[in-house]
Structure 1
Amino acid sequence: MNKGHFKDSQVVKGITIGAVLIVIYLALNNVTGILDSISYLAGLVMPFIIGAVIAFVFNVPMKAIEKGLNRLFDKRCKKKHPRLIRVLAYMLTLILILAIIAGVLFVVVPELVNTIADLIGQVPTAVNNLINWLQVKLSAYPEYEEKLSSISINWDSVLSNVMNFLSIGTKGIINGGIGAISGFFSGVANFFIGFVFSVYVLFQKERLTAQCKKLMYVCMPENRADKIVEVLRLTNTTFSNFLSGQCLEACILGTMFVITLSILRMPYALLIGIIIAVTALIPIVGAFIGCIVGVILIMMTSPLKALIFVGVFLILQQIEGNLIYPHVVGSSVGLPGIWVLVAVTIGGNLFGIMGMLTFIPISSVCYALLRTYVNRKVEEKEIDKGKFKG
């Protein structure tokens, strides 16, 4: 009996391994077809992915607004109005997000367009001023000054080369423009469907959550469903805290730059502050991208002020990195700084900016689960905690 059972189990194991190897072989021989199928399926569900992301982003401020409205209605009204409160919370959230987007569009974009137009006109003068400034500073080094004096730029030739390049690439630009227009309208359609989907999700989130939980508890053992619900709850909390913390940190950093640059009478103080606030949404490296843009903008006006700006940036970045970020973002996700750096590096290399944004909360969830597992095993094995000291 036991021998027969053992043989049967070995046969099943062999068949399973063989089936897996066949599937792997077929997959390797049809990589292109599989990738095309994945791309097709991703295109089908993309509006709903966009809708889920919109719903998640909206839900972070909406929960806080809804909680405040509940308190207000509890004080003013005896009867509860959950549906009315949900509608008001959603409308206020929508107005808040649209106001932020409008503020960026109507404040930053016009100033950025004017700044770029000014910079284009100032490039020849700025380059000559930079060369003259370097000549003065390098006057103590005649050999370098002589090499610098020999530098001359024929702006007519530069302009002619640019026009030739544009004329040669006109056909490619037209084809690319048609593709871009097609992609734009497709993106608009996906966004609209996703936005409508997000409204349904936000207004029925409790019902949808209950339905998903019911399905899990029906389809799997209760203890496994409990663990999955716990992981999903931890993931939702971590991502929400990270999003709110990252936005708050970016606003604080941008405000610090606007105030400091205004006090020092630096050019483009408001524009640079907003650019740094927006780029700071990218963890760790984002603010440095904003710094590079700021240096380019200020250098066109004064190289000396650009150097001062770099000094200001380094000081404010130290304050932000050592005081603000650990308390605002680090504590919100519960991830040590070294693992934040690892998460940003790996996520950025794999998936670019989106990887940087998502890998910190994902790593935080994995870190919390691993920490819970290790601590539980330590208690089960009754290991002396003194052995863990370095």
Structure 2
Amino acid sequence: MPWWKEKRTYRYLFVALLVGLIFYFLYLVRGLLLPFVLAIVLVYLLNPLVERMEKRGSPRVAAILMLYLGVIIVVTSLLMYGVPRMVNQLEKLVETIPTYTDQVEQLINQIQQRFADSAMPPGVQQIVEERITWVELKAMEMVRKAIDLLLGILSNLFYIALAPVLAFYIMKDLKELKQWAISQFPRQCYADVLRLAGEIDQVFTNFVRGHLTVVLIVGVLTSLAFALIGLEFGVMLGIIAGLAELIPYFGPLIGAVPAVALALLQSKWLAVKVIIVVVIIQQLEGNVISPKILGDSIGLHPLAIIVTLLAGGHLFGIAGMLLAVPLAAIARILVKFTWEKLC
């Protein structure tokens, strides 16, 4: 019988069509995926602790509720201490933005005046002035995007608050959900499905737990260091530097730019100290922290990671850079598995 008349061929086509429809549906409701994504992150962070408590004799639901209570106490304490300081820093930043804006405008005017007084050809001067204007516009665009991001977070507070509820039900019935998912495949595929699921789960585990641990450590170290050297808004800039660690290779540079820029507006010596702090922390992160926590967690060549980050950033901005590496690692697993089966 020709392959196009076999039942197996139609079954594969049906599965491919079903997967395509599922992805298309997820694309249509992509605005509603935030609580599910956050819930999955919470599950990866909290489920190992739940399982440890369950092994010690605690009922699973009670373990989850006790863990939630502990998280609420810790988060509330941090918010009670950190939010007033963050609000004070934001208020101070709002008050000092006009001063910083005037300083930046004066610096730009000085640069433009120097180029105007130089003996450069008029065409080159025009190109340089256009580039300076372009940099200024890009800086303003970045500020607007940052404000839009903050407003977007505020507008999604309901979805963010929904994430712990979804995570609770996922963790409560996690074993049943896994068994149900496996049972949807033919028995002869169980071994392959378990292998693929295990490898993909390992990628997510390394990315979520490992990278968030690195983010926390780098954020705390950077905030403390910035506060010690007297940098204004040090805590806020340290948090930005920590979050930027989610982006491999480019993250440290992205996180350092705001701190160096603000320090430069205060004094050149402070900018030098900020650069020294950033270099020291990045050396610790690159040579001590990440190797200990992450190891070779992704399994991709550095060149492949860089290309993936550039592509993700070009297509989807910061969100694309954040998700590009784990998605590329999963794609590598799927391609490798398919190639093995075909060959």
Q: TM-score, normalised by structure 2?
A: 0.67
Equivalent residues of 2:215, 2:245 under 8 A apart: yes
Equivalent residues of 2:207, 2:297 under 8 A apart: yes
- Aligned partner of 1:253 in structure 2 is 218
Alignment match of 1:272 (pick from 237, 253, 256): 237
Matched, 1:58 2:42: yes
Provide the rounded CA distance (Å) in 1 between the counterparts of 2:191 and 2:301.
Answer: 27
2:296 counterpart SS class: helix
Alignment match of 2:253 (pick from 288, 298, 313): 288
CA RMSD across the alignment = 4.4
Q: Residues 94, 225 of structure 1: CA spacing in aligned structure 2 closer, same or farther, 3 A cutoff?
A: farther
- Aligned partner of 1:208 in structure 2 is 177
Matched, 1:111 2:89: yes
Matched, 1:42 2:11: no
Q: Residues 256, 197 of structure 1: CA spacing in aligned structure 2 closer, same or farther, 3 A cutoff?
A: closer
The code of the aligned residue for 1:214 comes to S
Aligned residue pair count: 299
| Structure 1: gaps spanning 5 or more residues | 21-34, 75-79, 136-142, 149-176, 381-390
Q: TM-score, normalised by structure 1?
A: 0.60
Deviation at 1:209, TM superposition (A): 1.7
Q: Residues 238, 98 of structure 1: CA spacing in aligned structure 2 closer, same or farther, 3 A cutoff?
A: farther
- Aligned partner of 1:140 in structure 2 is none
Matched, 1:82 2:78: no
Deviations, residues 124-175 of structure 1 (Å, cap 9, x unaligned) = 46766x69xx99xxxxxxx969959xxxxxxxxxxxxxxxxxxxxxxxxxxx
Q: Which is higher, the Rg of structure 1 or of structure 2?
A: 1
- Aligned partner of 1:155 in structure 2 is none
Equivalent residues of 1:251, 1:277 under 8 A apart: yes
Q: Residues 235, 39 of structure 1: CA spacing in aligned structure 2 closer, same or farther, 3 A cutoff?
A: closer
Deviation at 1:283, TM superposition (A): 2.9
Q: Residues 306, 325 of structure 1: CA spacing in aligned structure 2 closer, same or farther, 3 A cutoff?
A: same
Same amino acid, percent of matched pairs: 20
Q: Residues 253, 315 of structure 1: CA spacing in aligned structure 2 closer, same or farther, 3 A cutoff?
A: same
Deviation at 1:197, TM superposition (A): 3.5
Provide the rounded CA distance (Å) in 2 between the counterparts of 1:214 and 1:146.
Answer: 73
Provide the rounded CA distance (Å) in 1 between the counterparts of 2:200 and 2:26.
Answer: 28
1:90-101 equivalent positions in 2, closer than 5 A: 90-96=68-74
Provide the rounded CA distance (Å) in 2 between the counterparts of 1:215 and 1:376.
Answer: 20
- Aligned partner of 1:349 in structure 2 is 314
1:142-291 equivalent positions in 2, closer than 5 A: 147=117, 187=156, 190-191=159-160, 196-216=165-185, 220=186, 222-291=187-256
The code of the aligned residue for 2:167 comes to S
Provide the rounded CA distance (Å) in 1 between the counterparts of 2:114 and 2:34.
Answer: 56
The code of the aligned residue for 1:230 comes to R
The code of the aligned residue for 1:321 comes to G
Provide the rounded CA distance (Å) in 2 between the counterparts of 1:51 and 1:271.
Answer: 25
